[in-house]
């Protein structure tokens, strides 16, 4: 049985491109890697450009320009708030405090004591 990274504590589960020109970055990776990018509907009526590998969404392109370019890795955690607090206590800098995104889950971003940024996420449970 394969476990989903979106349900496994400590597993990398999502990547997100952050950069000055999200549309151009999307086109670049569609051409270079052959990624299919589709608009994933959000609960607030907006959409999010999601990267598909096969039929599975694995990441996306932050729709708003970011000053510094890079890729954000999201790590699934059992409790965003407690893991965020533990990271700060261990010397991390908080970049974005825990917040809930309806239809997605709860997330927070830190910079570890060595300068690398990473996001923690606990996904909403899907109704069966």
- What CATH number is attached to the domain comprising 119? 3.10.180.10
Report the number of distinct structural domains present in the chain: 1
Task: Give the predicted TM-score (pTM) of the model.
Answer: 0.90
41 HSE (CA, 13 A, CB side): 2
Share of the chain above pLDDT 90, in %: 82
Please report whether residue 45 resides in a domain.
Answer: no
DSSP annotation of 86 reads H
The whole-number average pLDDT for the span 87-97 is 98
pLDDT single digits (tens) 61-70: 998 888 888 9
Confidence of residue 76 (pLDDT cuts 50, 70, 90): very high
pLDDT of 87 strictly over 90 = yes
Please report whether residue 123 resides in a domain.
Answer: yes
Please report whether residue 58 resides in a domain.
Answer: no
Please report whether residue 86 resides in a domain.
Answer: yes
CA distance 27 to 49: 11
The CA-based dihedral angle spanning residues 61, 79, 118, 16, taken in that order and rounded to the nearest 10 degrees: -10
Please report whether residue 114 resides in a domain.
Answer: yes
Please report whether residue 117 resides in a domain.
Answer: yes
- How high is the pLDDT of residue 19? 94
Residue 128: partners with Cβ closer than 8 Å, 6 or more residues away? none
Confidence of residue 2 (pLDDT cuts 50, 70, 90): low
Full domain range(s) for residue 88 = 77-128
50 HSE (CA, 13 A, CB side): 17
- How high is the pLDDT of residue 127? 59
pLDDT of 33 strictly over 70 = yes
- How high is the pLDDT of residue 4? 86
Please report whether residue 53 resides in a domain.
Answer: no
């Amino acid at each position: 049985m394969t476990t989903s990274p979106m349900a496994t504590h400590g597993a990398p589960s999502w990547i997100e491109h952050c950069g000055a020109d999200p549309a151009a970055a999307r086109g670049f990776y569609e051409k270079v890697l052959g990624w299919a990018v589709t608009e994933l509907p959000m609960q607030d009526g907006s959409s999010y450009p999601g990267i598909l590998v096969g039929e599975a969404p694995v990441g996306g392109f932050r729709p708003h320009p970011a000053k510094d370019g890079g890729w954000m890795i999201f790590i699934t955690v059992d409790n965003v708030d407690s893991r965020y607090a533990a990271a700060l206590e261990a010397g991390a800098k908080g970049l974005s405090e825990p917040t809930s995104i309806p239809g997605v889950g709860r997330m927070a971003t830190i910079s570890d004591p060595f300068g690398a940024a990473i996001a923690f996420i606990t996904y909403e449970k899907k109704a069966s």
